[in-house]
Amino acid sequence: MEKLAALMMIFLLAMPMGHCSIEGPEEVDEWFHKLPHAKEKVTKLHFFFHDRFAGKNISAVRVAHASSTAKSPTAFGLVFIMDDPLTEGLKPTTKELGRAQGLYAFSGREELSLLMAMNLVFTSGEYNGSTLTVLGRNPAVPHREMPIIGGSGVFRLARGIASAQLREFNTTTGNALIEYNVVVIHY
């Protein structure tokens, strides 16, 4: 409990000095007043999502499961929390653009599918400090589409689609590489 309290204190103290630029209430209010005259923008993003749930440098951890999960052919009830790197290229050593932070839960009893609840947190480039929120079903098919339901920073009032395609999956190392193409409408 002491460790949690210390982490919360660090979080609260570090908020204004984080690596991202978050505007204060005055700037947001000014932005909002200009909104009726703003034009919608369409932004297309492309990046690679590196999910590592085993081996070295784990970025996703198992946090919960149901008593019946081990017997389920679809891992129904299994939940992971993630903080996965988003990179410019296929290799994890390419430039990091941000992180995918959130959770995924195995939510299909009859077929393999996940519930994805994640923020795409951009930590470099022109979108540094901005986020996109993805919330939706992630079916076990080669090409997946998930809705973007919001955003912050550059992506205020965002909506759009995150298209994902599995590029690599290694059961030995526990590494998955997913290619993302994102189309987002924002102001």
Q: Which two tokens stand for residue 23?
A: 């505007």
Q: CATH classification of 39-186, choosing from 1.10.2020.10, 2.30.40.10, 3.40.50.300, 2.40.480.10?
A: 2.40.480.10
Q: Which residues of 119-133 are buried (b: 16+ CB within 10 A; e: fewer)?
A: bbbbbeeebbbbbbb
pTM: 0.85
User: Which tens digit of pLDDT belongs to each residue from 28-58?
Assistant: 888 888 888 889 999 999 999 999 988 888 9
118 Cβ contact partners less than 8 Å away, ≥ 6 residues apart:
82, 100, 101, 102, 103, 104, 133, 134, 135
Domain edges within the chain: 39-186
- Tell me how far apart the alpha carbons of residues 88 and 135 are, in angstroms, rounded to a whole number: 23
Choice among 3-7, 13-17, 87-91 with the minimum mean pLDDT: 13-17
- Give me the pLDDT at residue 170, please: 86
